[in-house]
Amino acid sequence: MQGANSIIKSIWSVPKKPLAPGAWLWWFWLFFIHDENTKKTGKCRQIMILWSVKNDPDIKCNSLSITGAKNIVPNGENSILDGAAAAWYFDREKMHDDIVLERSEMLLDAHNCSLTAPGKTPSSFYLENGNFITKIKTRDIEFNLVSKKTDPHEAVGPVYGRLPIGPFEIEGTRLEILELSGTEKREGGKSTPIRGTSYFQKILLAAPPPQWYWGLYHFQDGSFATYMNVYIGRAALSANLFGEPNLKKPMLGFKEDIYVYHAPSKRFFEGHKLNVVPSKSTAPGCWEHSFTGGGEGFTVEGEAEGYAHSCWTFVKNIGVLPAKSTFKYNEYPSVLKKLQLNLSTGEKIILENGWGNMENSWGFII
């Protein structure tokens, strides 16, 4: 079993063997920037940034075409990641899509624990004095984001897992809840401090991307909740044979996970029974997730609502056929209005107004 320090070091590593055709490797941060009302309302500013490589000779993401990428290229003791950097920013009122979206030859330095993406909107991510530093420079604003682990509980992470599925595999590392500080500076202005929380994942997806419902939420007392419902269904045909989907409860799910960490009591609840029922939100283009589930000694129920939306649309050719496949990866800044844990002892734990993000995916890539 890897220790925490070893897992953290491995964040800045790449697979020893070449990526399988179609495989996807990414590093993903969510930053939740608080205002004076966040802990009461669950709403906040948010930034998502992702650095990725994908073993596809020709694929398009939103307005960016990526043709002939070499994905991972050895560079002495380091690696060049020939892929793309992408980010969005929700400023409390408006979603700013594609504040970063460009192909980049990113330098991954395993020894110094850093990933640097040069370009017109440069970004970087590195380890410094035990803290995770992320820098993003957009066209009119510069973020310096410092993520620090303040709760030593093992559930907070780093958590590493690997799931083989026949000839495919999914491998990932997560840091569930970190304390966020740092600054933001607008062009020609002064730096202003920011506070909040953050979340990180590094994922190797060596399989066709399925459809999923996902949510990650942080709470005022340091607790967190996350769920994942992966399924195969009619939504795979959305944006391909027909338009946008009417999302429903999955009929054929093959991965159901619910994790809740209750910080005040230092208890962690892990379950693998989960039902997510999506419905349209009152916010334009957004969704709600009602979910139930549980595990040994507990059941859980929750209601989450999105209030903003960003979408990454991936399009690629289907072999030599005169047709294309489309996959849409949708993210929604959201509030987990209420989460209730019912323990077999009769105890109930209620968490409210968690700030976070939910995801819906549909379509397919082959």
pLDDT digit string, tens, across residues 81-135: 999 999 999 999 999 999 999 999 999 999 999 999 999 999 999 999 999 999 9
Q: From the CA atom positions of the chain, what is the Rg in Å?
A: 20
User: Tell me: the pLDDT tens digits for 297-349?
Assistant: 999 999 999 999 999 999 998 766 667 899 999 999 999 999 999 999 999 99
The full set of domains in the chain, from first to last, is 1-15+22-206 (2.40.370.10), 208-366 (2.40.370)
* Residue 243 predicted with pLDDT over 90: no
Whether pTM exceeds 0.85: yes
* Residue 207 predicted with pLDDT over 90: no
pLDDT for res 319? 66
Please compute the mean of the pLDDT values over residues 161-169 and round it to a whole number: 78
Please compute the mean of the pLDDT values over residues 157-178 and round it to a whole number: 88
* Residue 212 predicted with pLDDT over 70: yes
Could you tell me how far CA 308 lies from the centroid of its own chain?
15
Beta-strand relationship, 267-271 and 348-363: unpaired
